């Protein structure tokens, strides 16, 4: 382990040739003593910590996510003024780095931190012109559902003070949504409106939040009332305090939350009338430039939209060939398309859409993760301290949410990592995809990578909490493949499911670039998935609608996986018997999320160290 860290340190100094400090690159670099390197590195790391604390002070929601209750009753400021202030802060930080820090005076880990932080600042400044090029409300991660989900999953109530903070957040929703509405109007004025279908999802989510007691005369509790009342149920309170808290919460729900959502729904209904049915980012002002920039940020490569599209087509063909081998292995007579139909429609592969069927799915998914836990020593040197749990997506957002996703644990250990499985449409959750899905979102996928990153020592917080989508999702998809080499996917249908998941990600390359660069319609994208994959139509619809509201995001998975496999193959070829999969994974995971080119450099020096 110590040797691995040592060699990783070497690579950082090797690849970090451009100093944080500006000036003439031809100037002869000064040589620093060990004590000077230690002093300069400490100075920069102290500065990183100061900047993180400043950012944390400005974000009550980030405080809650990491277990800090300083501003437990407040929401973030999402106004344009706050965005402008943040931009100026970014410019000031970049100026300070350029004027005060010489990267050659830093130790290896700090030099990498400097390089990544500076790149993040430069990207923020460059991307500010695209700050309106997103949809704050959408079916994947819109505030209409994320705010209630935040209260439910993040805001813990351990005492009466926590309960009052929860109520203050309910009361503050009006102001937050006033800012949100202003942001939506600003985007509309700039020509940034989602297609019409997005509004149906978002309005439905919003209406779901204000259904039930105390919003109406329903016998059913509303989502937020149910959450609050259940959380205070176990508090030790003196007589009358519980009733007082419940009254305050009820008043906040009726007089703040409901008006906020009603106003938002009215605005959305008006905007929907003005929306069109065009799906791609090409419809935005300077949409092509925005999408190309989004691809560069997402993949951390220089791949063009057309190159990504072609890679997708090639990967689809390769995976189809491997699927055909499994089709023949199980003795199925017919074409691959016939086999897809069989896998889509045969009831043996689906749990019933009943409470019992959903529970059986969740129990088996938990069992898969627990079995993988017992085998981690075969793959990893470092393992996360944080535990992981499996949960169903909450009812209020399950209709519009994705089929599965991961939520990271709290830094203070108060909340485990969570693998969410969506039980809304059981026809989209076939049993033959269960293994790959659990490995991707849970172990050895997102939980291993994200929890390990959060637990890294002697690295700044921005590296523990930050991320590069190609690296994170590339690792997730690679983690679907690793168990195959360990003897998992023993059932050929389950191995077919693994390939089906990889095929899904290959198709994403084709469809994302198709929609945003080649002007494909939503229907064209859906049809491509239906023809080329065994997934349910509901799966295809959700995926295409995700492409539309999150341009470029879905290209990260396959690009990242391919890079990790390429690096591993190269390491095996060069090291032969000296190759150790545990050490390779340590190199990949021990620096947190990094751009793919930096990951490549880290692996190259590890290879050199072994030789």
68 contacts: CB under 8 Å, gap ≥ 6: 56
What is the spatial distance between Cα 126 and Cα 121, in angstroms, rounded to a whole number? 9
What confidence tier does 234 reach under pLDDT thresholds 50, 70, 90? confident
Average pLDDT (495-513) is 97
Sort residue 563 into left (φ over 0), alpha (ψ -120 to 50) or beta.
alpha
Claim to verify: residue 451 and residue 330 sit in the same structural domain: yes
Task: Say what the pLDDT of residue 307 is.
Answer: 98
Task: Say what the pLDDT of residue 27 is.
Answer: 47
What confidence tier does 399 reach under pLDDT thresholds 50, 70, 90? confident
What is the spatial distance between Cα 194 and Cα 221, in angstroms, rounded to a whole number? 32
User: What proportion of the chain, given as a percentage, has pLDDT over 70?
Assistant: 95
| Domain edge (last residue) among 539, 562, 585 | 562
CA distances from residue 600 to 120, 165, 263, 563, 564 in whole angstroms, order as listed:
19, 46, 50, 8, 8
Angle at 313 between CA 310 and CA 319, to 5 degrees: 140
Domain of residue 461, residue span: 289-562
pLDDT higher than threshold 50 for residue 26: no
User: What proportion of the chain, given as a percentage, has pLDDT over 90?
Assistant: 87
pLDDT higher than threshold 50 for residue 510: yes
Q: What is the dihedral of CA 226, 228, 76, 408, to 10 degrees?
A: -80
What is the spatial distance between Cα 58 and Cα 77, in angstroms, rounded to a whole number? 8
In a domain, 336, yes or no: yes
Average pLDDT (204-216) is 96
**Nearest CA-CA partner of 388 in 320, 440, 464, 433:** 440
Convert 426-489 into a string of H (helix), E (strand) and C (coil): HHHCCHHHHHHHHHHHCCCCHHHHHHHHHCCCCCCHHHHHCCCHHHHHHHHHHHHHHHHHCCCC
Task: Say what the pLDDT of residue 15 is.
Answer: 37
Claim to verify: residue 275 and residue 294 sit in the same structural domain: no
pLDDT higher than threshold 90 for residue 46: yes
Claim to verify: residue 356 and residue 448 sit in the same structural domain: yes
Claim to verify: residue 277 and residue 318 sit in the same structural domain: no
In a domain, 64, yes or no: no
Sort residue 467 into left (φ over 0), alpha (ψ -120 to 50) or beta.
beta
Peptide bond into 300 cis (omega under 30): no
Burial of 526 (0-12, 13-18, 19+ CB in 10 A): buried
Tokens standing for 346? 């045969």
What is the spatial distance between Cα 611 and Cα 607, in angstroms, rounded to a whole number? 6
In a domain, 97, yes or no: no
In a domain, 586, yes or no: no
Tokens standing for 208? 């779901």
State pLDDT tens for residues 531-589: 999 998 988 999 999 999 999 999 999 999 999 999 999 999 999 999 999 999 999 99
Task: Say what the pLDDT of residue 8 is.
Answer: 35
Average pLDDT (34-42) is 95
Using an 8 Å Cβ cutoff, are 198 and 545 in contact? yes
Residue 82 bridge partners (DSSP): none
Claim to verify: residue 401 and residue 256 sit in the same structural domain: no
Burial of 134 (0-12, 13-18, 19+ CB in 10 A): middle
Claim to verify: residue 478 and residue 543 sit in the same structural domain: yes
Claim to verify: residue 413 and residue 527 sit in the same structural domain: yes
What is the spatial distance between Cα 220 and Cα 213, in angstroms, rounded to a whole number? 6
In a domain, 572, yes or no: no
514 contacts: CB under 8 Å, gap ≥ 6: 309, 520, 524, 525, 528
Claim to verify: residue 354 and residue 482 sit in the same structural domain: yes
Q: What is the DSSP letter of 238?
A: -
In a domain, 173, yes or no: yes
What confidence tier does 20 reach under pLDDT thresholds 50, 70, 90? low
The total number of structural domains in the chain stands at 2
What is the spatial distance between Cα 423 and Cα 317, in angstroms, rounded to a whole number? 31
Claim to verify: residue 199 and residue 301 sit in the same structural domain: no
What is the spatial distance between Cα 562 and Cα 569, in angstroms, rounded to a whole number? 10
**Segment (H or E) for 14:** helix 2-15
What is the spatial distance between Cα 123 and Cα 43, in angstroms, rounded to a whole number? 24
404/16: higher pLDDT: 404
Claim to verify: residue 537 and residue 478 sit in the same structural domain: yes
Task: Say what the pLDDT of residue 29 is.
Answer: 64
Task: Say what the pLDDT of residue 347 is.
Answer: 94
Claim to verify: residue 279 and residue 298 sit in the same structural domain: no
In a domain, 90, yes or no: no
Claim to verify: residue 357 and residue 501 sit in the same structural domain: yes
Burial of 269 (0-12, 13-18, 19+ CB in 10 A): exposed
Task: Say what the pLDDT of residue 11 is.
Answer: 37
What confidence tier does 28 reach under pLDDT thresholds 50, 70, 90? low
Residue with tokens 């930050």: 466
Using an 8 Å Cβ cutoff, are 444 and 371 in contact? no
Cα 275 → chain centroid? 28
347/24: higher pLDDT: 347
State pLDDT tens for residues 61-103: 999 998 899 999 999 999 999 999 999 999 999 999 999 999 9
CA distances from residue 142 to 170, 179, 203, 224, 291 in whole angstroms, order as listed:
18, 14, 11, 17, 20
In a domain, 347, yes or no: yes
In the sheet with 417-421, reading across from the earlier edge strand, the strands are: 388-392, 417-421, 404-407
What is the spatial distance between Cα 176 and Cα 398, in angstroms, rounded to a whole number? 24
Q: What is the mean pLDDT of the chain?
A: 93
| Domain edge (last residue) among 283, 304, 327 | 283
What is the spatial distance between Cα 523 and Cα 548, in angstroms, rounded to a whole number? 12
343 contacts: CB under 8 Å, gap ≥ 6: 349, 430, 432, 493, 496, 500, 534
What is the spatial distance between Cα 5 and Cα 587, in angstroms, rounded to a whole number? 8
| Domain edge (last residue) among 283, 310, 344 | 283
């Amino acid at each position: 382990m110590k040797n691995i860290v040592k060699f990783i340190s070497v690579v950082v100094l090797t690849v970090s040739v451009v100093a944080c400090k500006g000036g003439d690159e031809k100037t002869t670099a000064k040589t620093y003593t060990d004590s000077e390197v230690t002093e300069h590195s400490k100075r920069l790391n102290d500065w990183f910590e100061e900047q993180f604390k400043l950012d944390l002070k400005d974000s009550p929601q980030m405080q809650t996510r990491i277990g800090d209750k300083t501003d437990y009753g407040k929401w973030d400021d999402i106004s344009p003024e706050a965005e402008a202030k943040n931009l100026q802060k970014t410019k000031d930080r970049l100026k300070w780095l350029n004027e005060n820090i010489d990267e050659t005076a830093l130790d290896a880990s700090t030099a990498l931190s400097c390089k990544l932080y500076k790149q993040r600042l430069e990207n923020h400044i460059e991307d500010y012109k695209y700050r309106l090029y997103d949809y704050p409300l959408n079916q994947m991660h819109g505030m209409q559902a994320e705010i209630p989900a935040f209260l439910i999953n993040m805001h813990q109530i351990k005492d009466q003070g926590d309960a009052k903070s929860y109520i203050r957040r309910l009361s503050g929703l009006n102001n937050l949504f006033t800012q949100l509405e202003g942001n939506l109007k600003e985007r509309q004025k700039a020509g940034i409106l989602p297609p019409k279908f997005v509004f149906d999802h978002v309005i439905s989510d919003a209406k779901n939040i204000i259904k039930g007691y105390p919003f109406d005369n329903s016998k059913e509790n509303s989502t937020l009332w149910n959450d609050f009342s259940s959380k205070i149920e176990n508090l030790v309170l003196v007589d009358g305090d519980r009733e007082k808290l419940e009254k305050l919460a009820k008043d906040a729900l009726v007089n703040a939350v409901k008006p906020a959502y009603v106003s938002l729904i009215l605005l959305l209904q008006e905007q929907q009338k003005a929306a069109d049915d065009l799906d791609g980012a090409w419809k935005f002002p300077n949409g092509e430039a925005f999408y190309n920039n989004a691809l560069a940020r997402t993949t951390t490569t220089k791949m063009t939209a057309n190159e990504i599209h072609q890679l997708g087509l090639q990967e689809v063909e390769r995976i189809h060939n491997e699927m055909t081998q499994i089709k023949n292995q199980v003795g199925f007579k017919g074409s691959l398309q016939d086999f897809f139909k069989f896998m889509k429609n045969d009831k043996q592969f689906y749990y019933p859409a009943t409470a019992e069927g959903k529970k059986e799915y969740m129990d088996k998914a938990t069992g898969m993760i627990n079995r993988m836990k017992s085998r981690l020593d075969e793959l990893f040197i470092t393992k996360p301290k944080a535990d992981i749990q499996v949960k169903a997506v909450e009812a209020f957002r399950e209709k519009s949410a994705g089929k599965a996703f991961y939520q990271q644990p709290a830094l203070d250990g108060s909340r485990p990592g969570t693998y969410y499985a969506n039980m809304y449409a059981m026809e989209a959750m076939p049993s033959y995809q269960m293994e790959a899905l659990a490995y991707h979102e849970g172990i050895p996928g997102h939980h291993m990578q994200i929890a390990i990153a959060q637990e890294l020592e002697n690295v700044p917080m921005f590296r523990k909490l930050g991320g590069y989508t190609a690296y994170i999702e590339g690792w997730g998809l690679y983690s679907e493949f690793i168990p195959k080499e360990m003897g998992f996917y023993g059932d050929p249908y389950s191995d077919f499911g693994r390939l089906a998941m990889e095929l899904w990600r290959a198709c994403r390359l084709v469809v994302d670039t198709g929609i945003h660069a080649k002007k494909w319609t939503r229907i064209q994208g859906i049809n491509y998935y239906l023809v080329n994959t065994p997934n349910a139509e509901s799966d295809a619809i959700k995926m295409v609608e995700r492409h539309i509201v999150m341009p470029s995001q879905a290209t990260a998975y396959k690009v990242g996986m391919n890079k990790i496999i390429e690096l591993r193959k190269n390491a095996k070829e060069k090291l032969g018997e000296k190759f150790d999969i545990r050490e390779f994974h340590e190199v990949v995971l021990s620096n947190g999320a990094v751009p793919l080119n930096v990951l490549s450099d880290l692996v190259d020096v590890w290879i050199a160290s072994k030789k």
